Amino acid sequence: MLGASRARASIGATAVGGGAGWWADDMSLTGCRAVETEFVRRYHRHEPRENQCSSALVKHIKAPIHLVWSLVRRFDQPQKYKPFVSRCVVQGDMEIGSVRQVNVKTGLPATTSTERLEFLDDDEHVLSIKIVGGDHRLKNYSSVITLHPETIDERPGTLVIESFVVDVPDGNTKDDTCFFIEALIKCNLKSLADVSEHLAVQNRAEPIEGHQACV
């Protein structure tokens, strides 16, 4: 359960094994899957057109939600955990509708991406962006990432769900397009887990303020 899981098809439909619903290859049929299904239905409602594909991925992180959210909410600094981002500049103040120019590291079929902040909710822990330009083939790409508190190994943890919808480029299939984007998101979520869990360990190791050792 601690890896990234995948859910595909019409996000927001009833949870069934295929067809109009969404499925996940690493989830059990009971317990957490029902919770994840409800979160997907509530926050990740995409309505892909015929020429689009949509998918959602799940990650369980061994760090409290406030710590993970402190990284995810930074629309102006995605490089804090996204390994493929080398630089980011936000135009104007950071608010709904703000646009960021992202420079992508070498090795990917892109060098820049222009992205707009669509939604940010610090209470519900929801972030949504839309790609509006750049030298890549991701047209009409929108994503939503949500965080939800949970308990992992009797410690505060975070359930992260990230979904997207995007046009399928000419010459590509829906499966090929989803596979490529899912691979990028899995890398981002793994990096988010690594950074968050490292910070969580650091926080647990810090001495309590005002505590004095016995002598």
Per-residue pLDDT reduced to its tens digit, 14-43 = 222 222 233 333 333 334 478 888 899 889
Structural contact between residues 139 and 169, judged by C-beta atoms closer than 8 angstroms = yes
Is the CB of residue 138 less than 8 Å from the CB of residue 130? no
pLDDT of 187 higher than 90 = yes
The pTM of this model reads 0.81
| Per-residue pLDDT tens over the stretch 76-133 | 999 999 999 999 999 878 899 999 999 998 777 789 999 999 999 999 999 999 999 9
CATH of the domain at 89: 3.30.530.20
Residue range 183-198: mean pLDDT, rounded: 97
Please say if the pLDDT value at position 167 is more than 50: yes
pLDDT (0 to 100) of residue 211: 41
Show the domain range for 171: 54-203
Is residue 16 included in any domain, yes or no? no
Q: What is the per-residue pLDDT for 18? A: 28
What pLDDT is attached to residue 203?
84
Rounded-to-integer distance, Cα 2 and Cα 43, Å: 21
Vertex 179: Cα angle to 78 and 145 (nearest 5):
35
Distance CA 71, CA 75 (A): 9
Domain total for the chain? 1
Predicted local confidence at residue 207, as pLDDT: 53
d(CA 158, CA 172): 34
Q: Does 136 fall in a domain? A: yes
Q: Is residue 91 part of a domain?
A: yes
61 pLDDT higher than 80: yes
Does residue 178 register a pLDDT over 90? Answer: yes
Looking at the predicted structure, is the pLDDT value of residue 208 above 60? Answer: no
124: in domain: yes
Q: Does a structural domain hold residue 18?
A: no
Q: Which residue has the higher pLDDT, 23 or 192?
A: 192
Q: What is the pLDDT of residue 2?
A: 38
> Has residue 131 been placed in a domain?
yes
Q: Rounded mean pLDDT of 122-145?
A: 95
